């Protein structure tokens, strides 16, 4: 091989080796927690109250208003978790669960009757692949008191054993769902769920 060919091929060989090495290093790093951002349109509603919901690109809103039996309405969202596995019982790596939307009801909270509560609250529920009845976490506040406006609340900040995210992580072989309670139409209009994000 002449010196010209050696000068041309040597840099190509070095570049190829460097690329192969970086590929191996990049793929040898530990897996990170899965990330997901989910629009509210992926969620489901209480089907017996279809007319009380408004679904659009803005999300899902509770449009129930007085004098026709206005009350809080619930939205059910599947929680994607690529690391959880119902058969092999591998644990969830979910550490963050932000829930976003608008609270337009400034009435006083009702801590006893959640159908009349003016806060946006959430819990998580799980169901076993064996078909047993679903079980649920504590409710936590996404908005508190008479707050109105946009919210983007990380419910993983609630760290009690039966709070939403620790509860999900303690049931690695169950199918998880996020349940959001939206208050009835308030002084500023409809309260709505925009979506949620996990990682």
Name the 3-class secondary structure at 40: helix
112-132 as b/e: b if 16+ CB within 10 A: eebeebbbbbbbbbbbeeeee
Please indicate, yes or no, whether residues 109 and 134 belong to a single structural domain of this protein: yes
Please indicate, yes or no, whether residues 138 and 63 belong to a single structural domain of this protein: yes
Domain CATH code at residue 48: 2.60.120
Please indicate, yes or no, whether residues 71 and 137 belong to a single structural domain of this protein: yes
Residue with tokens 């908005």: 143
Please indicate, yes or no, whether residues 43 and 131 belong to a single structural domain of this protein: yes
Domain that holds residue 176: 32-198
Q: pTM of this prediction?
A: 0.79
Name the 3-class secondary structure at 119: coil
Provide the residue-wise pLDDT of the chain in tens; the chain has 199 residues.
Answer: 555 444 544 444 443 344 444 333 333 333 444 568 999 999 999 878 788 999 999 999 999 877 667 899 999 999 987 665 555 556 667 889 999 999 999 999 999 999 999 999 999 999 988 888 999 999 999 999 899 999 999 999 999 999 999 999 888 778 899 999 999 998 899 999 999 998 8
Please indicate, yes or no, whether residues 5 and 97 belong to a single structural domain of this protein: no
Please indicate, yes or no, whether residues 96 and 152 belong to a single structural domain of this protein: yes
- Indicate the number of domains in the chain: 2
Please indicate, yes or no, whether residues 49 and 133 belong to a single structural domain of this protein: yes
User: What whole-number distance in Å separates Cα of residue 40 and Cα of residue 153?
Assistant: 15
Lookup: tokens for 96: 């963050």
């Amino acid at each position: 091989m002449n010196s010209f060919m050696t000068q041309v091929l040597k840099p190509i060989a070095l570049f190829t080796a460097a690329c192969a090495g970086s590929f191996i290093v990049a793929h040898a790093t530990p897996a990170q927690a899965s990330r997901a951002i989910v629009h509210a349109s992926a969620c489901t509603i209480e089907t017996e109250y279809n007319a009380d919901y408004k679904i659009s690109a803005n999300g899902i809103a509770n449009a129930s208003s007085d004098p026709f039996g206005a009350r809080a309405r619930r939205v059910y969202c599947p929680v994607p978790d690529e690391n959880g596995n119902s058969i092999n019982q591998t644990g969830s790596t979910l550490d963050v669960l932000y829930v976003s939307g608008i609270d337009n009801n400034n009435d006083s909270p009702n801590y006893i009757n959640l159908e009349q509560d003016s806060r946006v609250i959430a819990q998580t529920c799980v169901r076993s692949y064996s078909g047993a009845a679903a079980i649920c976490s504590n409710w936590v506040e996404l908005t508190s008191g008479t707050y109105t406006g946009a919210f983007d609340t990380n419910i993983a900040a609630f760290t009690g054993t039966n709070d939403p995210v620790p509860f999900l992580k303690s049931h690695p072989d169950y199918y998880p769902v996020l349940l959001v309670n939206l208050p009835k139409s308030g002084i500023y209009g409809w309260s709505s769920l925009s979506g949620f994000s996990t990682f």
